[in-house]
Chain A
Amino acid sequence: MTIDRFMTAASDYATQVDGTFWVLVTISSLITLLVAALIAGFSLRYRRGSTARRGPLPERFGRDVEIGWTVATLFLFLFIFWWAASNQLSALDVPGHAMEIHVVAKQWMWRVQQPGGAREINEIHVPENVPIRLVMTSEDVIHDLFLPTMRLKQDVLPGRYTYLSFTPTKTGVFHLTCAEYCGTDHSVMAGRLVVMTAPDYARWTNAQPEADDLAHQGEAVFSALGCSGCHAPTSSIHAPDLHGLYGRAVPLADGRMVTADEAYLRDSILLPAKDIVAGYAPIMPSFRSAITEDDLVKLIAYLKSLSSSPDAGVSPASGKERAGGTPALPGGP
């Protein structure tokens, strides 16, 4: 294994972070050298028995110096803050059409679901130059997905989704690993991030064992759990219509408005009493014990597909079709 697997800057963001880092290294080195030189210089010049001039300094002088270097330090630090913060803020602008890959962490492995339906363990294949958004959750303790070549990491929490967005610009095989201490085999909870050219990625997707895309699998979960019994438009039970729900603002019974994002959908399935939609009775049972994290991912992918396609109920395109020429870009039309 070579250090390239860790240190290659494999995205524009990573290059930018490296730039910030080296500027900070330069500033810090200069300050350290200044302090070291002053200590060494004073130690030599004012050692006992030297002939250097001593005696008190004028009172004013001390005060001016104090105020001077307090203000200078404050401005320097504020400058570094502003500069690092503006980098951080610009990195927050995630393209809306990112390709979504689901990651479920558990002691001590990473399970990955590609949008085309392919499943991977401890490996994530991604196409080059395509914005990627990892949607992550944990089945047990807190983990942390660390992609050193992207200069990114994000804690992966139980009971919640967290996200990691990046756009790889270099092909290659890179390291991925767990960075939040998670028990016995924490140090071997590692794997590979494989960045491929778009055609290679398409070929790779095609070569995976036959599998429906996530939304299709989610449709199966939807009927297996009997969701359509209440949520189908033809149902006699008064339950919210799920078509076009994802991404919309939803008025709640207690007067709040929430946006129906992944976290909302997740909570509504697992903790239905938390956010009751205005105009509906709180009759939905919790599916916490009935659904696994993996199935939840599929189900939410299906619910999202109901919003992204005009002919609701049918996911935008099957994995087979997309695997052809262009890189797969599900999650948005």
Chain B
Amino acid sequence: MTDAAIADAAVDTQPASYLTAGHTLLSWLTTTDHKRIAILYAVSITLFFFIGGIAIGLVRLELMTPHGLFLTSDAYNRLFSLHGIIMVWFFLVPSIPATMGNFLLPLMIGTHDVAFPRLNLFSWYLYVFGAAFTVYALISGGVDTGWTFYTPLSTSYATGYVVAAATGVFVVGFSSIATGVNFIATAHMLRAPGMTWFRLPLFVWAMYTVSMVMVLATPVLAMSLLLVIAERAFGLPIFDAARGGDPVLFQHLFWFYSHPAVYIMILPAMGVVSEVIPCFARRTIFGYAFMVYALITIAVVGFMVWGHHMFVAGQSPLANLVFSFLSFIVAVPSAIKVFNWTATLHRGEITFEAPMLYALGFVGLFTIGGLTGLFLASVPIDIHATDTYFVIAHFHFVMVGGTVSAYMAGLHFWWPKVTGRMYSEAWARFAAITTFLGFNATFLPQFVMGWNGMPRRYHYYPDVFQAWHVMSSVGALILAVAYVLPLIYFGWSLIYGRRAPANPWNATGLEWQTSSPPPKENFHRIPRVDVEPYAYDAFVHLPTTDDRAPPSLPSPASGGG
């Protein structure tokens, strides 16, 4: 079958695909198909995203006045803890790797599945049971430690279900490790003939580096949570100063995982954006090799900067200096990536579909998030700004402005491939622009009040900050609308959406050379790769009249059978 024939089949009849391979609930819950597992993950993380979102919506409502509206301080503390725990561990960490990574990694390297399909399904079960258990604990009894579980608050003083919540997070950690191991093995063992390391799409590189970080860092989280559980449940004095323990030890262990975890959240986002921008700029990514080295550098140096979370925790001034220095160093490769994405636009042929709008929004917001990271890497500035809304704004620029924007970019970009349907482009663009505006309205005021001395995790606050809090809450409302919109038009597209061609964006990459949605085994015949990645220059002079036309890449073209 030629490529054209595949595309015709995709348009005219409903081809057999992984979606038609079984319609029962059981067929989904026992699947070992990486694409179906990706969808299981997508459904569960979306659910958790909205639970965490509702929690922070209530918090922002409460903060409309300095003296609260309808919550007790305990309820308030439980709500922001719930928000943090869910968003970090059950949304951000698995978001891009477990959904898009699972779906795309085998497709992008040209193989039938991940290396360990059953381990892949097992990791979803670990994730969903661990997360559901924690969320149940958070909603029924609550935890008032914040997502950071700082000792001795969490071990000796906090009320609520700390042990249960920590146990759930501990279990979910193993899901991360399993996914990481799976991806590393897949990238090493299952690349299609001709798919050399330096022909890998940057998304695959991002998955590979993030998997390394997951495998190496997550065990440290498991260990530190286990110690919290041991002390709280069994009285083992690890962190209790009164019995010779050290409360600050927990912070070292926790951040030794949780700082690399920041990169677990942002590296995949960088991978997504590196796919989207070249496609809509019709231009090879600028500095491919440098982009790869930057990913690796970030992953490695990211392990050595955890101490910058502890500049005021009683750490020695010399240690502060060293961690400050390394934090500046880790910012360099991030900056290089921003310059490269920008330079990719140069001499391109740019269009502004929804994925591109989200991706450009990512570059802008990530730039601000990264630069304010330099403020916090400077010890004297950090001493004043840490534990204030300045920090909140900074990491939301990276985690939400960055990772969530990239997640949305990827969701729109690969939606036709995953579902075989097109969504409403107009609504999607509207949502992308609303996200950008709502995001800035929410978090820019937080920089201002943070530098002015507004501490984080405050239920009641001095009334001089009320105007900023109201602005931020209104922004959050806009942001909420922007996040609910895709739920509606994506849902609509599943039923009424125009059928998607194999390659609606005329993108390079092997995933676009199979039908939309792909067949169960991805490729009827394993493709052969003999071109460099992002060969968009070859596309530029092609007629673009019929956007349903199949891709006519100059050579690899053996994408189907």
Contacts and interface: CB of A to CB of B under 8 A. Distances in A.
A20 B380 contact: yes
B363 A39 contact: yes
A178 B457 CA distance: 11
A217 interface: no
Given A88-B379, A92-B317, A144-B312, A158 B281 contact: no
A91 interface: yes
Nearest to A74: B332
A159 B339 CA distance: 48
Interface stretch (B432-440, B447-455, B489-497): B447-455
Nearest to B379: A88
Contact of B348 (A46, A77, A154, A182): A46
B455 A140 contact: no
Given A20-B380, A39-B364, A140-B157, A181 B73 contact: no
Contacts of B348: 42, 46, 54
B157 A6 contact: no
A282 to B, nearest CB: 16
B387 A146 contact: yes
Interface stretch (A55-63, A198-206, A312-320): A55-63
B453 A6 contact: yes
Contacts, number: 238
B460 A159 contact: no
A121 interface: no
Interface in A183-203: 183-188
Given A6-B452, A55-B347, A81-B325, A184 B153 contact: no
Interface stretch (A65-73, A126-134, A239-247, A248-256): A65-73
Interface in A1-55: 1-3, 5-7, 16-17, 20-21, 24, 28, 31-32, 35-36, 38-39, 42-43, 46-48, 52-55
Nearest to B325: A81
B315 to A, nearest CB: 9
B329 A77 contact: yes
A47 B453 contact: no
A32 B387 contact: no
B333 to A, nearest CB: 8
A6 B464 contact: yes
A187 B72 CA distance: 12
Interface string B448-485: 00011101111111111000000000000000000000
A84 B150 contact: no
A24 B378 contact: yes
Give the bracket for the number of chain A residues in contact with chain B: 35 or more
Contact of B374 (A55, A56, A77, A155): A77
B320 A52 contact: no
Contact of A28 (B152, B343, B351, B372): B372
A89 to B, nearest CB: 8
Contacts of B381: 17, 20-21, 24, 84
B367 A157 contact: no
A187 B380 contact: no
A35 B342 contact: yes
Contact of A177 (B324, B347, B455): B455
B146 interface: yes
B77 interface: yes
A180 interface: yes
Contacts of A154: 312, 314
Interface of A: 1-3, 5-7, 16-17, 20-21, 24, 28, 31-32, 35-36, 38-39, 42-43, 46-48, 52-57, 62, 65-66, 69-70, 73-74, 77-78, 80-81, 84-85, 87-89, 91-92, 107, 140-142, 144, 146, 148, 151-155, 157-160, 162, 175, 177-188, 271, 288
11 contacts: A16-B380, A28-B375, A35-B364, A39-B364, A46-B350, A54-B540, A84-B381, A144-B312, A152-B384, A153-B383, A183-B144
Given A3-B464, A47-B349, 9 more contacts: A24-B375, A28-B374, A46-B346, A46-B347, A54-B347, A70-B332, A151-B383, A155-B314, A186-B458
Q: What are the nearest 9 A-B pairs in CB distance?
A: A159-B241, A148-B453, A84-B378, A42-B345, A6-B453, A187-B458, A179-B387, A28-B371, A151-B384
